Amino acid sequence: MELDIIREVDPFIAETIEKELKRQQNTIELIASENFTSKAVMAACGTVLTNKYAEGKPHKRFYNGCGNIDLIEELAQKRACELFGMDHANVQPHSGAQANMAVFLYALKPGDTVLSMDLSNGGHLSHGSPVNFSGMYFNIISYGVNEQGEIDYDEVQKLALEHKPKLVLAGASNYSKIIDFKRFKEIADSVGAYFMVDIAHIAGLIAGGVHPSPAPYADFVTTTTHKTLRGPRGGIIMCKEEHAMGIDKALFPGTQGGPLEHIIAAKAIALLEASKPEFKKYAEQIVKNAKALANGLMDETMDIIGGCTENHVMTLDLRKFNKTGKDIANVLEKVGITANKNTVPNDPQSPFVTSGVRLGTAAVTTRGFVEEDMTEVAKIIASAVFSSDNELGLANLRERSSKLCAKYPLY
């Protein structure tokens, strides 16, 4: 197989990839932004399409020999539009951040005001963090969440009237409630702003019909393809027809060079997979598993921000135990669970330490985990928090994680 081909040329890389495969197989993956693609998606990433330059768009390329590439990219565009109900799709963004950058470049001039969610309240770096280009070149006004982890829409409306943003941005990396796109659209309309939605985390849930779609309301919808959507690492921008030309230009030549056509082929496959009835079942199970995990943790006396989750993600709140997200994420790794530290609302700790851990169920659901497995995962997590300095206890928990992994073989 492909590893043997790599081994002949570069044994170290082959060996390390193999170790990574074993790590993924023997770890309970709760990082909310990760998933396991199908073998077909992965296979497409390793094809001859990586050899081709295809700057431009289908039938308007700067290079010759793009006939086959055009067919693939057009199909990916068509599938994205159909799946998400938008007029136009550009499937070339190399990542979610690149997709967002292109929308900013198209819709805004430097110094324009953007109303978006604060990073430490669940937003994303590319939504205006001071360390990202979006925060350096634009005037960012942020909204946050309340102690229940919910967006206060009246507050968003107030901020919009006060600051008159040119763009209102909804979407988050850590938000466990259903987003009210209609309300956001009304807020954007009240000040004549563009309305952009970044569905990076919830794209698979929208495709599977378990989260409302922003399509009826948004001017621009950006997404990653590798989170709940379960495709290759990459991004997509969708928009209303009136913005199509400008968005395409903002991506290329505005911010990117040649598209990754091997990845675009993999996106096309993932979009096809996401349109099937099995994917709807998958999305439903993600949400069921998230609820089971949240309830399991609360049964073990742990706190979840907001007391429940309505999608795939939740934040474990460690404040009452005086533990930090950083420490517990490291303890969880010792017991065979990967998750990331995350701030809680009004976190007393710095973003590098935090008082929370973000947990998501997209990846374990792909493996086949169901509710009863999530209850066991919740017990392992709670025991790990309570016995974080007991090496023997942690070793026993590691065994229990391995058992669960063995029950659901991966690849």
Ligand X SMILES: *Cc1c(COP(=O)(O)O)cnc(C)c1O
Among residues 7, 34, 53, 303, the one annotated as catalytic is 53
Q: Are 32 and 359 in contact (CB under 8 A)?
A: yes
Helices (H), 62-197: 67-84, 96-107, 133-137, 153-163, 181-190
Q: For ligand X, which is the closer residue by CB, 34 or 300?
A: 34
If one asks whether residue 224 binds ligand X (CB under 6 A), the answer comes out as yes
User: CA 214 to CA 181: how far, in whole Å?
Assistant: 6
Q: For ligand X, which is the closer residue by CB, 339 or 394?
A: 339
Among residues 29, 73, 118, 198, the one annotated as catalytic is 198
Of these, 27, 28, 29, 33, which contacts ligand X (CB under 6 A)? 33
Q: Binding segment for ligand X among 43-51, 193-201, 250-258, 354-362 (CB under 6 A)?
A: 193-201
Question: How many alpha carbons lie under 13 Å from residue 63 in its C-beta half-sphere?
Answer: 15
Give least dist CB 386 to ligand X, A.
Answer: 31
Q: Binding segment for ligand X among 155-163, 170-178, 208-216, 380-388 (CB under 6 A)?
A: 170-178
Give least dist CB 31 to ligand X, A.
Answer: 11
Looking only at the bridges linking them, the beta strands covering 356-360 and 340-342 are antiparallel
User: CA 218 to CA 226: how far, in whole Å?
Assistant: 22
Give catalytic status of residue 224 as yes or no.
yes
Q: Which amino acid is at 56?
A: G
Q: Are 206 and 230 in contact (CB under 8 A)?
A: no
If one asks whether residue 96 binds ligand X (CB under 6 A), the answer comes out as yes
Q: Contact letters (x/-) for ligand X, 61-90, by CB under 6 A?
A: ------------------------------
The residue sitting closest to ligand X, measured at its beta carbon, is 96
If one asks whether residue 97 binds ligand X (CB under 6 A), the answer comes out as yes
Q: Which helix (H) or strand (E) holds 360?
A: strand 356-360
Q: Binding segment for ligand X among 20-28, 169-177, 299-307, 322-330 (CB under 6 A)?
A: 169-177
Looking only at the bridges linking them, the beta strands covering 139-143 and 113-117 are parallel
Task: Put the strands of the sheet holding 356-360 in their side by side order.
Answer: 303-304, 313-317, 356-360, 340-342
If one asks whether residue 126 binds ligand X (CB under 6 A), the answer comes out as yes
Q: Which helix (H) or strand (E) holds 170?
A: strand 167-170
Q: List phi, psi (to 5°) of 195.
A: -120, 120
User: CA 368 to CA 410: how far, in whole Å?
Assistant: 9
Q: Which residues in the 238-297 window bind ligand X by CB under 6 A? A: none
If one asks whether residue 124 binds ligand X (CB under 6 A), the answer comes out as yes
Q: Which residues in the 324-343 window bind ligand X by CB under 6 A? A: none
User: CA 260 to CA 262: how far, in whole Å?
Assistant: 6
Q: Are 159 and 115 in contact (CB under 8 A)?
A: yes
Of these, 26, 95, 349, 375, which contacts ligand X (CB under 6 A)? 95
Residues binding ligand X: what is the number (CB under 6 A)?
15
Q: Binding segment for ligand X among 142-150, 194-202, 259-267, 337-345 (CB under 6 A)?
A: 194-202
Task: Residue 174: name the closest of 354, 376, 366 by CA.
Answer: 354
User: CA 66 to CA 335: how far, in whole Å?
Assistant: 49
Of these, 29, 118, 198, 373, which contacts ligand X (CB under 6 A)? 198
Q: Are 144 and 121 in contact (CB under 8 A)?
A: yes
Q: For ligand X, which is the closer residue by CB, 100 or 113?
A: 100
Give catalytic status of residue 198 as yes or no.
yes
Give least dist CB 163 to ligand X, A.
Answer: 21
Looking only at the bridges linking them, the beta strands covering 220-224 and 60-61 are unpaired
Give catalytic status of residue 230 as yes or no.
no
Q: Binding segment for ligand X among 40-48, 95-103, 255-263, 289-297 (CB under 6 A)?
A: 95-103
Give catalytic status of residue 227 as yes or no.
yes
Of these, 88, 177, 185, 201, which contacts ligand X (CB under 6 A)? 201
Catalytic residues: 53, 55, 198, 224, 227, 233
Using CB under 6 A, list all residues that contact ligand X.
Answer: 33, 95-97, 100, 124, 126, 171-173, 198, 200-201, 224, 235
